[in-house]
Structure 1
Amino acid sequence: MDNKAEPRLEDQSQPQQERLFYLEFRLYFLGHANRSDLQLRFGLKESSASRDIALYKKLVPNNVVYDYGIKSYVPQPSFVPLFAYTGTQVLTALTHGFGDDYAGPKFPEISSEAPSQAPLPFIPTLAAITRAIHKEKSLTVNYYSEEVGEKVSTIVPHSLIDSGNRWSLRAYNRGAERFEDFVINRITDVQDCNDEPTVDEQKDADVLWNQIIELNLKPHPSLAHPKAVEREYGMRGGVLKMTCRAALRSYLLRQWRVDTATSPATAGQGYQLWLDQ
């Protein structure tokens, strides 16, 4: 009688879990996986890749079956994921390449296009900003605004913001004595100050950043077939309840082109969503 305990995922090492995750990812989202996939990705020997597959089959015995026609494992109808996945994680891996643990080129698994992709930040500027955020230091920047043109400001950055059409940073502006958003690509020069922020300049003091608000979005009343929008946005009971930081409210509503008027606009203005206030 074999009393050996069955393997458990939580008992496996981190590298082992990463290999199992990659194996399942290919099974789940690409429909097949084999030893060669593991060998190519992780530089394994054939015997090591075989052991990984055998371990996966022990952990979830009803998930895969070997297809001799394509010489790969394929998911069974009874497939239940061993790992949890997020939409962002999956789409990034599929469209930009899987993983970030090596410096080689990343190759997408699925063809995709992003016509509305935001301009990417200039790398030297971004590096200076992220260093300041991580080390909790201030920066002196030359910044171009639409109102006053170029101006020198000393700021204390604490977070990056992807608004959908541009990258910004959230920071305390010492000159204005308030927290503001700065578009990263409008910064033309960065100088490290290396002084530590005061309590009033730190992220915990940014009231609008730390305040979480709820938005109730509904299909726009002008739509002839609101069920289409309910389905697209995964609404329940005709309402999409969203939470966001108060500081980011305008970004979200603008990116999704939400009608925020108390009285909804009439047909013909292209709104899909209306903010129920």
Structure 2
Amino acid sequence: MLDTLSFAQKQRLAYIDFCLLFKGAIYRQDLIKRFEVGLSASSKDFSLYKTLAPKNLHYHTVEKRYVQTEQFQPVFEHDAQRTLVKLANDISDGFDGIGDVDYPVESPSNLNVPNIFIVARLVQAILLNKAVSVIYTSLSSGSGARELVPHSIVDNGLRWHVRAFDRKSQSFRDFVLTRVSKVTLKEAGEEHEQADADEAWQRLIPLQLVPHPKNVKHATAIEMDYGMENSQLLIKVRAAMAGYLLRRWNVDCTERGVLEGAEYQLWLQNRFTLNKVDNLAIAPGYLN
């Protein structure tokens, strides 16, 4: 039946599918606003979607919205990497399910690809402010059950992780998405488990990046690469993300810029700003 539909209608159906998968629900008004269609046309789209997947949704008469069922199985294929990028940039269209334009742009392949259903359930938990029970496999303790209260999904440059309050350690931590094998929604999170209470997430620290004093022969090239002004780049980053950024850009974090190698083109000039910042073991050359 999908092959007989117009591209525009498949887009709308893919959007319904996307919202049910990642948000757990969709209002008819969501479809109307997103595609500027009338009430009658939107009703036909929901009826058609229900014909295609009758066990995927039911209408909640009190909340006046369509809700995902426990038997939900996506009608369209949603690519994990592309979907995560779209979610990160607030592009909730679901169009990858029916084939986007093949743009002539490439990016380095990530080493891992998260399970799309794991991502979807965590996104739902974040949007609904819910805690989750997960099975997580760590390098130190292996597989085990944990209760988390997630608040953000983050690309650290190499892989995707979820930032969450960990009820086991009673602290905010990062959990790699590919190491999560099961997610079950639970009750709402407590106030001290929310993003507002995540001090390292809320605190912004300034980074003063300059061309490396020893490894760069022509500093102007680096200044142009990073759009520097007055031979430096001043940026603010969440304390929880500082280590990832410094590692991703291979920023020399030694006191005097002594790391050797062509990969170290930047030096952190205000190293003192990293005081009281966690996850700096991955920051090149940084030692407490």
What's the TM-score once normalised by structure 2's chain length? 0.59
Give the match's secondary structure for 1:127.
helix
1:140 equivalent in structure 2: 133
CA distance in 1, matches of 2:228, 2:245: 17
2:108 equivalent in structure 1: 115
The reply on whether 1:178 has 2:171 as its aligned counterpart is: yes
CA distance in 1, matches of 2:248, 2:99: 31
Amino acid at match of 2:150: P
Instruction: Kindly provide the CA deviation profile for residues 216-259 of structure 1, in whole angstroms up to 9, marking residues without a partner as x.
Output: 00000111111110011000001001111111000110111111
Could you tell me how far 1:147 is from its partner in structure 2? 1.2
2:196 equivalent in structure 1: 204
Contact 2:211 2:267 in 1 (8 A): yes
Contact 1:118 1:167 in 2 (8 A): no
Contact 2:252 2:259 in 1 (8 A): no
Could you tell me how far 1:270 is from its partner in structure 2? 2.7
Highest relative contact order (Cα 8 Å, sep 6+), 1 or 2? 2
2:21 equivalent in structure 1: none
Amino acid at match of 1:139: V
Give the match's secondary structure for 2:188.
coil
Could you tell me how far 1:186 is from its partner in structure 2? 0.4
Give the match's secondary structure for 1:124.
helix
Gap regions ≥5 residues in structure 2: 1-34, 36-84, 271-288
Amino acid at match of 1:184: L
Q: How many residues align?
A: 181
Give the match's secondary structure for 1:138.
strand
Contact 1:118 1:164 in 2 (8 A): no
CA distance in 1, matches of 2:114, 2:141: 22
Could you tell me how far 1:268 is from its partner in structure 2? 3.2
The reply on whether 1:166 has 2:159 as its aligned counterpart is: yes
What's the TM-score once normalised by structure 1's chain length? 0.61
Amino acid at match of 1:206: D
2:219 equivalent in structure 1: 226
CA distance in 1, matches of 2:182, 2:251: 35
Instruction: Kindly provide the CA deviation profile for residues 48-85 of structure 1, in whole angstroms up to 9, marking residues without a partner as x.
Output: xxxxxxxxxxxxxxxxxxxxxxxxxxxxxxxxxxxxxx
Identity %: 37
Gap regions ≥5 residues in structure 1: 1-41, 43-91
Amino acid at match of 2:247: R
CA distance in 2, matches of 1:158, 1:125: 15
Give the match's secondary structure for 1:209.
helix
Amino acid at match of 1:178: S
Cα gap change, 1:122 to 1:206, in 2 (>3 Å): same
CA distance in 2, matches of 1:169, 1:196: 17
1:251 equivalent in structure 2: 244
C-alpha RMSD of matched pairs (Å): 2.1
CA distance in 1, matches of 2:259, 2:179: 37
Give the match's secondary structure for 1:125.
helix
